[in-house]
A = this chain, B = another copy of it.
Amino acid sequence: MATNYSSRRQAVLQVLQSTKSHPSAESIFEQCRLLIPNISLGTVYRNLALLEERGEIIKVANVAGVDRYDATVTPHVHRICPCCGRVDDVEVSDNLRDALYKEADDKGYQSIQLTFYAKCKECEE
């Protein structure tokens, strides 16, 4: 923890690591307040930027104008519900995964962002 000394930064990271919901800064802020009541929104934004710079988290999508974050930094694929904005991790076939890596490798791409769109269960109705 030597590099995460500040209590606010720890809270931001911990909140993000403890959810699969790919939350917004605002949502992370709300969760952090339960741990540290007087934490400020600016601090959440600053630490998200800092953690992203360090490669400890990633900005995973922009849904309806709002950035969404993820503490899972290993490559993975997302599905976003165009209706409610829900973001989920999804598995893909080995075949597709291999083809993605090969493409990135062949062409010298630094990173891959693959997102599928599909209505979630709740929005199907």
* Residue positions of A touching B, CB distance < 8 A: 62, 65, 79, 82, 90, 92-93, 95-96, 99-100, 102-104, 106-119
Contacts and interface: CB of A to CB of B under 8 A. Distances in A.
Contacts of A116: 103-104, 107, 109-113
- Main SS of the interface on chain A? mixed
A81 B52 CA distance: 17
A65 B109 CA distance: 22
Contacts of A113: 113-117
A55 B117 CA distance: 15
A65 to B, nearest CB: 8
In the complex, the count of this chain's copies comes to: 2
B79 A109 contact: yes
A79 B100 CA distance: 13
Contacts of A79: 109
Contacts of A82: 110
Contacts of A118: 107-110
Contacts of A102: 93, 95-96
B99 A93 contact: yes
A107 B90 contact: yes
A117 B110 contact: yes
Contact of A109 (B103, B108, B109, B117): B117
